[in-house]
Amino acid sequence: MSARRNHHHLLRQPKTTQPVLKKLSQSGPGRWLGLALGLTGVATISATAGALLAVSLSTTPLMQQKLTAEEAAVFSKNEMARGNLRFPQLTRPVNILVLGIKVLTSDLEDESQEDLGYHALVDSFKGLSDTMLLVRFDPAEKKLKVLSVPRDTRTYVEGMGMTKINDANYYGGPALSAKATSELLGGVGVDRYVRVNVQGVEKLIDALGGLDIYVPKDMKYSDDSQHLYINLEQGQHHLNGSQVLQFLRFRQDSLGDIGRVQRQQILMRAFMEQALNVGTISRLPKLVSIIQSHIDTNLSLEELVALVNFATHVNPENIEMLMVPGEFSDPKDYKASYWLPDYSRLDAILAKHFDFGYDSWRFENVDSRDLRIAIQDSTDDWDAVDGLVMELNDDGFWNVKVSKPWTQPLEVTRIVAQDGDTEGAESIQRALGFGKVVVESTGFLESDVTIQLGQDWLEKYEQQQRLENLETETEIENREDSESIRIENFN
């Protein structure tokens, strides 16, 4: 019986042995990747080059933690990429577990660490996972799907019992994290893993020249104990690596960790739309050389190039971002704060978007009139918001809630399939006749679909108002004319 279905009988078990990390030579990955990409162009001409290419592409020089045979067996051994005349291509859908790690000096038991007088960031992977993503690269559908797993998700972790899923990396590294993720998701397979620490994120963003991101509100926070200082103003900004970390690490909002997950999704969409392009592949050796000490993965070079190559060709409309659905725990029930998964909704997401399980009926058979719809306004026109509510009601959608405004001004309305219910979102789009459907979890948590209202509705609404006013004026004029004729006839 899966532990995700039988929570309460589990007892806390002894903690597993701490993983031993080995550091990577600073000259290896970039040199090998550059050689591999260079040889790709001549492999068809030279048999020697082809043989060398096969050897170099099969290596895993970015793997910084040696896995035991038992740990390695957690990940798929099936082929996932194959070379062709240009670049390696994916041969099947693959699931990659991505872990973002933040390690402070206070997290380590190594007493040889220099005491800096504060909790400094350490270039290590031996810490709690701040970010957990299961990324599905699907060449059949030509889609890239990202499932965010909140770090406080309560699930079964082997050797620890029911606990927060981010404990898994600290006590058992990537293999235990993959096991815990698969357990949470009812048995979904994990093909490979990638771990990156926060220093790597900062360097990667700087190497790519920064990202344009809308900061949804003023973010001010100071923590002298970590030398963490966050100072971002609301609005559209071009953020460098340090500022991106501030954007990601800010937690002073009402949604806590879930707010961070939503900002992660905003950042990932910006990264994929702005930084991933065909030119990224040629820059890959340089990018890897910059962040090589901050990344740990069991991907081979061939697989890494195939994944990047695939991602650069995905249409932005085919990037889908989901989150493990659930609710915050009640302080009366648990001492710690947890995110409690909603397994019914989660199974529906996995069936529809990860081709796993049989619960897709939840989306296919839901009456669109029962959809929980939230409106987040970016137009600052409450008459237009009221008009949209009336429009939805007229179209048969009655379960409508006006939520907090969406602070980023939008030209085009975004119809957000919060749990991946694209059919429900598209039914709203057809009824309204405007907006674009996106699969994200950035909307109102307690909705099935969130409408983030843009200027396109304001223009349509104002046009409707003008037509209604014209019709009213015409009706009044006709009434007055009729009255005048009646009076004339009476006289």
Which of 49-53, 181-185, 226-230, 345-349 has the least mean pLDDT?
A: 49-53
Q: How many percent of the chain have pLDDT more than 70?
A: 81
Looking at residue 316, the DSSP 8-state letter turns out to be G
Q: Each residue of 32-54: b (16+ CB within 10 Å) or e?
A: bbebbbebbeebeeeeebeeebe
**What are the structural domain ranges in the chain?**
62-354, 373-458
Q: What is the DSSP string of 192-228?
A: EEEEEEHHHHHHHHHHTT-EEEEE-S-EEEEETTTTE
pLDDT tens, position by position, 444-457: 999 999 999 999 99
As given in the structure block, the two tokens for residue 156 are: 């079964």
The predicted structure's pLDDT at residue 291? 85
- Give the dihedral of Cα atoms 414, 419, 423, 429; nearest 10 deg: -20
Report how many helices (DSSP H) and strands (DSSP E) the chain contains, helices first: 14, 21
Question: What is the C-alpha to C-alpha distance for residues 334 and 355, in angstroms, rounded to an integer?
Answer: 34
As given in the structure block, the two tokens for residue 278 are: 């065909």
- Using N-to-C axis directions, what is the helix angle for 455-490 and 382-394, rounded to 10°? 80
Q: What is the mean pLDDT of residues 333-341?
A: 95
pLDDT at residue 397 greater than cutoff 80: yes
Q: What is the mean pLDDT of residues 142-161?
A: 97
Q: What is the mean pLDDT of residues 37-44?
A: 44
Quick one: which of 325, 358, 353 has its CA closest to 339?
A: 325
Mean pLDDT for the chain? Answer: 85
The predicted structure's pLDDT at residue 85? 58
pLDDT at residue 120 greater than cutoff 60: yes
The predicted structure's pLDDT at residue 292? 87
pLDDT tens, position by position, 238-262: 999 999 999 999 988 888 889 999 9
pLDDT at residue 422 greater than cutoff 60: yes
Looking at residue 203, the DSSP 8-state letter turns out to be H
Question: What is the C-alpha to C-alpha distance for residues 232 and 240, in angstroms, rounded to an integer?
Answer: 12
Confidence of residue 59 (pLDDT cuts 50, 70, 90): confident
Q: How many percent of the chain have pLDDT more than 90?
A: 64
Q: Detail the DSSP E strand segments found in 26-122.
A: 81-82, 89-90, 94-101
As given in the structure block, the two tokens for residue 172 are: 């058992």
The predicted structure's pLDDT at residue 423? 92
Residue type, 350: L
The predicted structure's pLDDT at residue 39? 43
Confidence of residue 3 (pLDDT cuts 50, 70, 90): low
Most confident of 20-24, 297-301, 481-485: 297-301
Q: What is the mean pLDDT of residues 368-393?
A: 94
Higher pLDDT, 469 or 460: 460
CB-CB contact of 356 with 409 (8 Å): no
Q: What is the mean pLDDT of residues 386-410?
A: 96
Quick one: which of 292, 274, 305, 135 has its CA closest to 208?
A: 274
* Longest Cα separation, the chain: 110
CB-CB contact of 129 with 168 (8 Å): yes
The predicted structure's pLDDT at residue 461? 92
CB-CB contact of 253 with 214 (8 Å): no
The predicted structure's pLDDT at residue 35? 45
pLDDT tens, position by position, 174-221: 999 999 999 999 999 999 999 999 999 999 999 999 999 999 999 999
Higher pLDDT, 49 or 96: 96
Helix spans in 163-256 (H): 167-184, 198-207, 241-249
CB-CB contact of 190 with 95 (8 Å): yes
Mention the CATH class of domain 62-354: alpha beta
Q: What is the mean pLDDT of residues 336-340?
A: 95
pLDDT at residue 264 greater than cutoff 50: yes
- Using N-to-C axis directions, what is the helix angle for 301-312 and 47-57, rounded to 10°? 90
pLDDT at residue 41 greater than cutoff 50: no
Please provide the CATH number assigned to the domain covering 373-458: 3.30.70
CB-CB contact of 409 with 430 (8 Å): no
The predicted structure's pLDDT at residue 46? 46
Whether this prediction's pTM lies above 0.95 is answered by no
| CA atoms within 13 A of residue 181's CA, in its CB half-sphere | 35
Tell me the Cα Rg of the chain. Answer: 26
Put residue 43 in one of left, alpha, beta given phi > 0 → left and psi -120 to 50 → alpha: alpha
pLDDT at residue 105 greater than cutoff 80: yes
The predicted structure's pLDDT at residue 474? 65
Question: What is the C-alpha to C-alpha distance for residues 68 and 160, in angstroms, rounded to an integer?
Answer: 20
pLDDT at residue 90 greater than cutoff 70: yes
pLDDT tens, position by position, 287-302: 888 888 899 999 998 8
Higher pLDDT, 11 or 162: 162
Question: What is the C-alpha to C-alpha distance for residues 403 and 398, in angstroms, rounded to an integer?
Answer: 15
The predicted structure's pLDDT at residue 286? 84
Higher pLDDT, 7 or 461: 461
pLDDT at residue 7 greater than cutoff 70: no
Q: What is the 3-state secondary structure (H, E, C) of 257-270?
A: HHHHHHHHHHHHHH
Sign of CA dihedral 157, 132, 346, 443: positive
Same fold, 62-354 and 373-458: no
